Amino acid sequence: MATSAKRKAVDIAASAAKKPKNASITSFFSSPAGPVKPAAASAATSSSPPSSSPLASKDGATPKTPVSTAAIFNPSTSAPGPSSAPTPKFDKAKWVEKLTEDQKMLLGLEIETLHESWLAQLKDEVLTKEFLELKRFLKAEHDKGEKIFPPAPDVYSWSRHTPLNTVKVVILGQDPYHNDNQAHGLCFSVRPPTAAPPSLKNMYKLLKTEYPDTFQPPPNNGGLLTPWADRGVLLLNTCLTVKAHNANSHANKGWEKFTQKVIDIVAKQRTRGVVFLAWGSPAQKRCSKVDKARHCVLQSVHPSPLSAAKGFFDCGHFTKTNEWLKGRYGEDGAIDWNLNISPKAAGV
């Protein structure tokens, strides 16, 4: 009981610090106002989990992300709150100073909302021809008046909820949800009051089978997975944006290369080992080069109602994940899969 209460208290603090705000899609293309200052930790105001908490990385500290919102978000809103991960060799301000004005314009969202632990590793990738062409495509879509999901501040919410040094599990999705009040940057997850989509309900069904006495889904038939992300589960889609009401509309525009780089970074940097949950053939292909001597790759059919009955309900992936993590990280390395946290406590 004490452990559960402590974990809930940590979840409240961590999720509240990362609550995304709505913004115009123009924030995809705005450059930051003024110089970007390096991250600085503040013990007095920190809302990051303590080093002893299940949300804190076994690797160590939990640094802050700068909050600069003038150009990226509407003046009445604030940027998503700080997360923690060390980036001692990356001087963000100097990196930004070296960018051309065109690059600053195209990469405004990355500069302001991609967590610094990830930007330090992806700084070369975002300057590639392919990625800049992707950003030009998104700008062209905006200029035509197209509505894009998720909201701009949420595109990189996965990076803020799960800084690089906290990753212990990766769950791979495909396309963001393409209807209103659904996508918020974490695969499979939806914010309340949106009900859990069918694939997520099948994940709950498996969890209830594996943890019949302890697992509880979110309140009110919800689908909010931020507690998992705050505990070290990277919830990553293959494509990070989609045109409203048009599934797969941003496929093969450049996101695939970028998110593959994210997977490769996790596989390279997280040397203590990570569990990759690869559900469906697309996810399995993306994990094909992961070093299975260092990491654990669990494969199954996708939890979609179209395929779940063909083996997903028997895969046992959530308990297998924790068994493997305990072997690498000790008893405290297991993920708490429980989701029975009020939206307010989860920072929504």
Catalytic residues: 175
Residues 6+ apart with CB under 8 A from 167: 232, 234, 266, 270, 274
Q: What is the dihedral of CA 100, 105, 109, 113, to 10 degrees?
A: 50
Distance CA 123, CA 92 (A): 9
Q: Residue 338 corresponds to which tokens in the numbers above?
A: 């429980």
User: Would you give the DSSP letter of residue 211?
Assistant: S
User: Would you give the DSSP letter of residue 7?
Assistant: H
Residues 6+ apart with CB under 8 A from 333: 58, 168, 325, 326
Helices (H), the chain: 2-17, 92-97, 101-106, 108-113, 116-122, 129-143, 157-161, 198-210, 226-230, 255-269, 281-286, 317-329
CB 296 within 8 A of CB 324: yes
Q: Largest alpha-carbon pair distance within the chain? A: 56
